[in-house]
Amino acid sequence: MRGNECNSIRFKIRQSQFKANSTRYGGFFDVAAKTKQLADIEVEIESRPDFWTNPEASAPVLKKKRALEQTLERAKTLEQNRDDLLAALELAAEGEEDYLEEADRLVTALEGELKSLEVESLLGGELDQNDAVLTLNAGAGGTESCDWASMLFRMYIRYAERKGWKTELYDVQDGDEAGIKSATFEIKGMFAFGMMKAESGVHRLVRISPFDSNARRHTSFASIFVSPVVDDDIDIEIVESDLRIDTYRASGAGGQHINKTDSAVRITHIPTGIVVQCQTQRSQHQNRDQCYKLLKSRLYEKELEERRKSQEEAEGAKSDIGWGSQIRSYVLHPYKMVKDHRTNLEYHSPDDVLDGDIERFINEFLSKAFDPASQ
């Protein structure tokens, strides 16, 4: 009985904590206001006969409509899950042992969801709700680093799948023996850029190398650069004379048309030195369009980075928080641990992390980034 009594006390404490946190979710969603906004948009669509024939005008409206629908659906799901959890907690507190494990699982999951909502409520940047473009590059170290880059690539794809986000691959350069030298891909989802910008920087792996016959420990590095997908309504001037456009034959897996024609495109923005490339589409025209999209995102992010640096210099901000610094270590030997060096958060199941379970690190970084007490 003592074990059941302890469980009941523990669940009552967690239940009161959850009720206190869950009452705040309405502030994140503002359901009434968003329901009215959605209704107003639907009226606007119905009242404009030219709405569907004018993509430039309709695209931002439809994007806002989708965002509102997703937010309201999320609120509805959270409310239902909250009710189910509270019912399970009551039954568990009354001695229904079968509900103990289920209640524990539900409250842990919903606490994580509330944490995510709290972080998202802080993402008020101009493009935080936009899609994100990730550029992944293997560091020095040959096959080891290329293999590490491929592991990170899989980790982010799995994370996107967990979030219900979509991904699109723009370019990938295979390693000479294994893994990848680089990859550029887009993650499409609500707050994709706001969340993924926490991953920009250098990632370090320590493990026993599977490519070393002497089973020695190796350290590998790979870098992640994240930029927002820029909407068409944001004006970014690109002067054609500032561009050098090269075409080449696509490499790697692909159909006969892709591999036998110069369909791949590389664009160099001469004033900034920014280089973007795409080879995954079937036609040169499609790859060129994707390159322009990537270039706009990179130019916009470069401007934001210059503003951040100016602000940090003015405020005397710490340099170790800057982009490009080593942000996280993944240790597989002689012990198992993933540690974020910006927040000191540690997690002792790297297999889970490498399978896409990275949201705890993202939430912790963003929470501290917006907490004045942590500055």
Select from 89, 120, 151 the last residue of a domain. 120
HSE-up (13 A, CA, CB side) for residue 319? 1
pLDDT per 10-residue tile (average), the chain, 375 residues: 44 46 52 90 90 82 84 84 84 79 80 79 84 93 92 98 94 93 94 94 93 86 92 76 91 52 90 93 90 90 78 46 68 96 96 96 88 54
3-state secondary structure of 331: strand
The single-letter DSSP state of residue 374 is G
Contact 231, 305 (CB under 8 A): no
304: its two tokens: 């934001």
- For residue 112, what are the CA distances in angstroms to 103, 115, 325, 357, 363? 14, 5, 28, 12, 10
Per-residue burial over 226-260, b if 16 or more Cβ lie within 10 Å, else e, is bbbbbeeeeeeeeeeeeeeeeeeebeeeeeeebee
Q: Rounded CA gap, 123 and 102, in Å?
A: 32
Task: Tell me which amino acid residue 91 is.
Answer: L
The number of distinct structural domains making up the chain is: 2
371: its two tokens: 């907490």
Are both 74 and 177 inside the same structural domain?
Answer: no
Q: What is the CATH number of the domain that holds 252?
A: 3.30.70.1660
Contact 105, 94 (CB under 8 A): no
The domain in which residue 107 lies consists of 2-120
Residue with tokens 């009985």: 1
Residue among 342, 337, 333 nearest 367 (CA): 342
Contact 276, 294 (CB under 8 A): yes
Are both 312 and 248 inside the same structural domain?
Answer: yes
Q: Rounded CA gap, 349 and 281, in Å?
A: 37
Are both 38 and 88 inside the same structural domain?
Answer: yes
Contact 262, 248 (CB under 8 A): yes
37: its two tokens: 């906004």
Are both 165 and 298 inside the same structural domain?
Answer: yes
Q: Rounded CA gap, 22 and 104, in Å?
A: 16
Residue among 251, 281, 284 nearest 267 (CA): 284
Select from 66, 93, 120 the last residue of a domain. 120
Element (H, E) at 137: strand 132-138
Select from 70, 89, 120 the last residue of a domain. 120
Residue among 158, 192, 201 nearest 341 (CA): 201
Are both 62 and 173 inside the same structural domain?
Answer: no
HSE-up (13 A, CA, CB side) for residue 54? 9
28: its two tokens: 């994140």
Whether pTM > 0.85 for this model: the answer is no
Are both 134 and 84 inside the same structural domain?
Answer: no
Are both 154 and 21 inside the same structural domain?
Answer: no
- CB within 8 A of 41, min separation 6: which ones? 61, 64, 65, 68
**pLDDT at 356 (0 to 100):** 97
Torsion 80-83-85-87 (CA) sign: negative
Are both 178 and 327 inside the same structural domain?
Answer: yes
Are both 265 and 329 inside the same structural domain?
Answer: yes
Are both 28 and 143 inside the same structural domain?
Answer: no
Q: Rounded CA gap, 209 and 144, in Å?
A: 7
Contact 344, 363 (CB under 8 A): no
* Antiparallel, parallel or unpaired: β 274-278 and 264-269: antiparallel
**pLDDT at 277 (0 to 100):** 93
Are both 231 and 358 inside the same structural domain?
Answer: yes
**pLDDT at 2 (0 to 100):** 40
Are both 71 and 151 inside the same structural domain?
Answer: no
